[in-house]
C-alpha cells in the first residue's frame, strides 16, 4: 500500500470541501482532497447561491472570478396562490451591493474552485476514491485509507482530517460522531422542464397542494420541486404514472407538455428534506463541516451558503492551529462555537416552516392569501429578509485569505 503525508486531508469535493482546499492551499498548507465520484458532475445539488454567498465571495475577492463562469442572476422572488401573485421581493431592495442570488450549476462552481486550486502546488485531489477506514493513534485521528476504482489502496497520513462528505458522511460514521437531532418529515421531488421564452428569471413559490417551487435553471431550463410528506411519494408511485400526470396538469399549465410525455417515474429525483445537527463537530485531529456537521433542508435554498461559510471559518481555524501545532478537539471546536448559533437559528426556522407548510397546507393557503400581501410590505419583512439572505457582518478570518484582484 502506498503512503502519502499531508497537512490536511479533506474528504468530499463539494462546495465546502473545495472552498476549504482553495483557502488552505493559498496559505501554503499541503492539502489533499478525496472525492468518491469520478468527476464533479452531479444533479439537483444546491445550485441557488443566495446573496450571502455572493457576500462571502466579495470578502475573499473571488466574486469577479466566480461570476466569470456561466450562471444566472436571480433578482426577484414571487409568492403565488394558484396563478395569482400575492407577494414579491426584490434582492436589490434588501441590499444594493448584493442585489441578486445566483443560479450556478454545481459542476460549474466546483470546476471554478478546482481551476483556482491549480494555482497552488500544495493542492492535490484524488477522484473516484472512497474512504475505507480512519487512521487512529490512541485518541488522535491521523488520516484515512482510501480505495480507488482500480481497487488500489492509499494511506493518507494527515495532521487534520476534515469530513466534508455530505449528509451521509463516511467520516462521521467511522469517527463515531453522534447526531443531536435528525428531523425528516418531507420529501422534495425534483424535475426539469424547458424554460418558456416569455417567462422571466423569477424564483416562484406556489402555495398550492402540494406546495412547490419553480426555479430558473441555467442555461434554459426550469427546475421544479414538489413538496410531499415523506410517505406520500411511495403512495403516488403505487397509484401509477397515469394518475400523477393528471395531478401535474392540474397544478400548472407549465407542466402540461412534460406530463404528456411521462412514461414512468425515472424522470424524478427524490431529495429527503432533512435537517441534521451533529452534537460535537470535532475530535482530536478531525473536524466535520458542511452537511456532514449541519445538514439544512431545501427550505430557503440556504444549504450551500451555510456550508461554505463554515468551510471558510474552519480554514482559518485549521491554518492557525497548524501554525501553533494544535490539532486538538478543543482547538478545532472553535468552528462550532462560532457557527452554531446561526446554524441552530436557521434549523429551527426550517423545521417550523416544514411542519406548517406540509401538514397544514389548507390553513396556510387560507391565511397566506390574506396575510402575505400585507406582511411582505412591512419593515419587519424587510428585516427578516436581510437576516435570511445576508450575513450581518464579514466572517472573522485573517486578511491573508483574501485573494488579489
Picking from 216, 242, 272, the residue at the C-terminal end of a domain is 272
**90 domain residue, yes or no:** no
Residues 127 and 234 in one domain: no
Domain span including residue 376: 2-70+101-181+276-401
Q: Whose grid coordinates read 458532475?
A: 41
Q: Report the CATH number at residue 265.
A: 3.30.9.10
Give the pLDDT confidence of 191-236 residue by residue, as tens digits.
999 999 888 888 998 888 888 999 988 889 999 999 999 889 999 9
Residue pLDDT, tens place only, 375-400: 666 776 777 888 889 999 999 999 99
**pLDDT, position 363:** 57
Same domain, residue pair 192 and 313: no
Does residue 264 sit in the same domain as residue 294? no
> Are 31 and 158 contained in the same domain?
yes
**pLDDT tens by residue, 234-261:** 999 999 999 999 999 999 999 999 999 9
Question: Same domain, yes or no, for 311 and 171?
Answer: yes
80 assigned to some structural domain: no
pLDDT < 70: residue spans in the chain: 43-46, 357-377, 380, 405
Share of the chain above pLDDT 70, in %: 93
Domain boundary, last residue among 251, 272, 293: 272
- Among candidate residues 226, 255, 272, the one where a domain is terminated: 272
Q: How many domains does the chain have?
A: 2
pLDDT score at 367: 57
Q: Buried b / exposed e across 307-322, counting CB within 10 Å, b at 16+?
A: bbbbbbbbbbbbbebb
Say if residue 247 is in the same domain as residue 302.
no
In terms of domains, do 123 and 173 share one?
Answer: yes
- Looking at the structure, tell me whether residues 378 and 341 fall in a common domain: yes
Beta bridge partners of 372: none
Q: 234 with 322, same domain?
A: no
| CATH number, domain containing residue 355 | 3.50.50.60
Looking at the structure, tell me whether residues 8 and 119 fall in a common domain.
Answer: yes
Residue with cell 456532514: 292
pLDDT at 85: 87
Instruction: Spell out a b/e string for 35-53, using b for 16 or more CB atoms within 10 Å of the CB, else e.
Output: bbeeebeeebbbbbbbbbb
33 and 150 part of one domain = yes
Amino acid at each position: 500500500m502506498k503512503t502519502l503525508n499531508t497537512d490536511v486531508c479533506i474528504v468530499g469535493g463539494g462546495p465546502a470541501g473545495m472552498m476549504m482546499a482553495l483557502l488552505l492551499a493559498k496559505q501554503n498548507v499541503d492539502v489533499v482532497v478525496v472525492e468518491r465520484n469520478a468527476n464533479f458532475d452531479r444533479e439537483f445539488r444546491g445550485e441557488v447561491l443566495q446573496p450571502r454567498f455572493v457576500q462571502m465571495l466579495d470578502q475573499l475577492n473571488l466574486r469577479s472570478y466566480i461570476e466569470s463562469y456561466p450562471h444566472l442572476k436571480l433578482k426577484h422572488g414571487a409568492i403565488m396562490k394558484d396563478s395569482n401573485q400575492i407577494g414579491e421581493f426584490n434582492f436589490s431592495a434588501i441590499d444594493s451591493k448584493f442585489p441578486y442570488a445566483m443560479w450556478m450549476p454545481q459542476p460549474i462552481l466546483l470546476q471554478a474552485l478546482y481551476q483556482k486550486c491549480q494555482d497552488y502546488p500544495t493542492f492535490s485531489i484524488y477522484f473516484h476514491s472512497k474512504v475505507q477506514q480512519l487512521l487512529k493513534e490512541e485518541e488522535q485521528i491521523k488520516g484515512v485509507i482510501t480505495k480507488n476504482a482500480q481497487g488500489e489502496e492509499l494511506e493518507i497520513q494527515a495532521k487534520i482530517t476534515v469530513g466534508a462528505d455530505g449528509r451521509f458522511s463516511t467520516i462521521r460514521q467511522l469517527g463515531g460522531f453522534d447526531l443531536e437531532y435528525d428531523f425528516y418529515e418531507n420529501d422534495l421531488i425534483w424535475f426539469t422542464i424547458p424554460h418558456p421564452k416569455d417567462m422571466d428569471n423569477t424564483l416562484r413559490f406556489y402555495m398550492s397542494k402540494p406546495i412547490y417551487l419553480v426555479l430558473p435553471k441555467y442555461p434554459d431550463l426550469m427546475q421544479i420541486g414538489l413538496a410531499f410528506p415523506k410517505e406520500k411519494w411511495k403512495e403516488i408511485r403505487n397509484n401509477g404514472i397515469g394518475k400523477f400526470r393528471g395531478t401535474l396538469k392540474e397544478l400548472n399549465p407549465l407542466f402540461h407538455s412534460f406530463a404528456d410525455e411521462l412514461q414512468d417515474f425515472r424522470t424524478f429525483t427524490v431529495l429527503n428534506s432533512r435537517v441534521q445537527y451533529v452534537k460535537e463537530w470535532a475530535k482530536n485531529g478531525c473536524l466535520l463541516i458542511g452537511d456532514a456537521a449541519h445538514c439544512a433542508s431545501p427550505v430557503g435554498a440556504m444549504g450551500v451558503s451555510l456550508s461554505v461559510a463554515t468551510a471558510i471559518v474552519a480554514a482559518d481555524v485549521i491554518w492557525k492551529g497548524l501554525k501553533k501545532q494544535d490539532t486538538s478537539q478543543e482547538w478545532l471546536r472553535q468552528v462550532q462555537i462560532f457557527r452554531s448559533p446561526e446554524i441552530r437559528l436557521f434549523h429551527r426556522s426550517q423545521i417550523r416552516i416544514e411542519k406548517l407548510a406540509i401538514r397544514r397546507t389548507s390553513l396556510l393557503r387560507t391565511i397566506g392569501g390574506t396575510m402575505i400581501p400585507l406582511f411582505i410590505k412591512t419593515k419587519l419583512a424587510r428585516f427578516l429578509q436581510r437576516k435570511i439572505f445576508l450575513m450581518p457582518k464579514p466572517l472573522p478570518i485573517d486578511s491573508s485569505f483574501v485573494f488579489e484582484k
